[in-house]
A and B are shown apart, each in its own frame.
Chain A
Amino acid sequence: MATLPPFQELLDEHGHDVLGFLVASVGPDDAEDCFQETFIAALRGYPKLKHADNLRSWLLTIAHRKAIDHHRAGSRRALPSGAAEEVGGNRGAEDRALESAGEGEEVWQLVSVLPPKQRSAVVLRFATDMAYSQIGEMLDTSEEAARRNVHEGLKKLRGELA
């Protein structure tokens, strides 16, 4: 039987990364709800977890799912006002975010235009400093695909596609 560490240890050691990932994915306000959803879900499932390997990835996988749920709910809400306009509007947001680079205030508005896998890949790579192999595992793709997702995501963010 696997011996799982006390849950408090997960919160102490990985709470910071989970919050960082969520802030970069959905913005500082909604990150708070997603953070609670993530850890409540983790707490529910914890006793049934089969092994204690890489609990950080396990938590970030849950956070990734909560962020996707959140974006889905958000785009449903945004539909009536027209999604196309939003993409255009975000080009301005990109420039503002880049001007305040380092503060990280508006990065999430930037990455919100990316498709879910690219968004999570980019955020995992830079906000939580995760290796490509782990990003691949988390997103259910190969390491190569994870690398490509990050690359394509960055390219899109830089505005070279669009």
Chain B
Amino acid sequence: MSDSKNRALEEALKGAGTNHAGVLERLSNELLARAEDEGLVDVAYASVDSPYGQLLVAATGRGVVKLSLPNYTADHALEQIAAGVSPRILESPKRLDPVRRELDSYFEGKLERFSAKVDWTLAHGFADRVLHVVAGIPYGQTLSYGEVAGEAGNPRAFRAAGTACGVNPVPLIVPCHRVVQAGGKPGNYGGGPEMKLALLEMEGALRY
């Protein structure tokens, strides 16, 4: 029994474990389809292109649970979902197609109201109340942080209202960019102040 036969045997064993990149992709797609069929995908996510950069959108059966603006990394968003919703997360672009189409239309200035439902699981306490108020601000209109705090039940909590907008799990669909400073300045935004300004401009909400 020679060493070369020994080596050949070990090489053959190692070789069996390689060379299946194409197969793996097909198997992953089949797995996703079956997992969806069996209801094992608690959260589906997809990357969505926007004029401001790449967004990550994630949805449960109840609605959009997380939308991550270009300033944030997708990994961070996915970790937050894993900890706060469920770790059973798979990339499933198909399931996000309706939301993607709505976002496309919105960025083209053709959509004023999202029909996509929101899953509020990642919003808690006062922030949850504030964000429900924010969800009702119509396209092209703004409220101040103080006004939003008041409608959420605590007029003096304008700072907390700002914090709530900062942790908004579903920006754009819950339009926290429509919450501005009392003097009319746009103020801060998770996607950057320029993005906020551009969105308000697109919506025709800026009055000088």
Contacts and interface: CB of A to CB of B under 8 A. Distances in A.
Interface in A1-30: 3-9, 11, 15-17, 19-21, 23-24, 28
A57 B66 CA distance: 31
Contacts of A6: 78-79, 81-82, 87, 89
Contact of B12 (A8, A40, A97, A160): A97
Nearest to A94: B9
Interface in B29-48: 30-31, 34-35, 38, 40-42, 45
B79 A3 contact: yes
Interface in A130-162: 154, 157-160
A4 B87 CA distance: 6
A102 B81 CA distance: 42
Interface SS majority for chain B: helix
Nearest to B87: A4
A101 B8 contact: yes
A100 interface: yes
A19 B27 contact: yes
A4 B9 CA distance: 38
Interface SS majority for chain A: helix
Interface residues of A, number: 49
Contacts of B24: 15-16, 19
A104 B15 contact: yes
- Interface size class on chain B is 35 or more
B17 A127 contact: yes
B9 A157 contact: yes
Contact of A104 (B5, B12, B21, B88): B12
A19 B22 CA distance: 12
B110 interface: no
A133 B90 CA distance: 31
A122 interface: yes
Contacts of B35: 39-40, 43
A85 interface: no
Report, nearest first, the 5 A-B pairs whose CB atoms are least far apart. Answer: A20-B17, A104-B15, A127-B17, A104-B16, A126-B13
Given A8-B89, A19-B23, A43-B88, 17 more contacts: A5-B82, A6-B81, A16-B24, A19-B27, A20-B16, A24-B17, A36-B30, A39-B31, A40-B35, A46-B87, A46-B88, A98-B12, A104-B15, A123-B13, A126-B13, A127-B16, A158-B5
Interface of A: 3-9, 11, 15-17, 19-21, 23-24, 28, 32, 35-36, 39-40, 43-44, 46-47, 97-98, 100-104, 107-108, 110-111, 122-123, 125-129, 154, 157-160
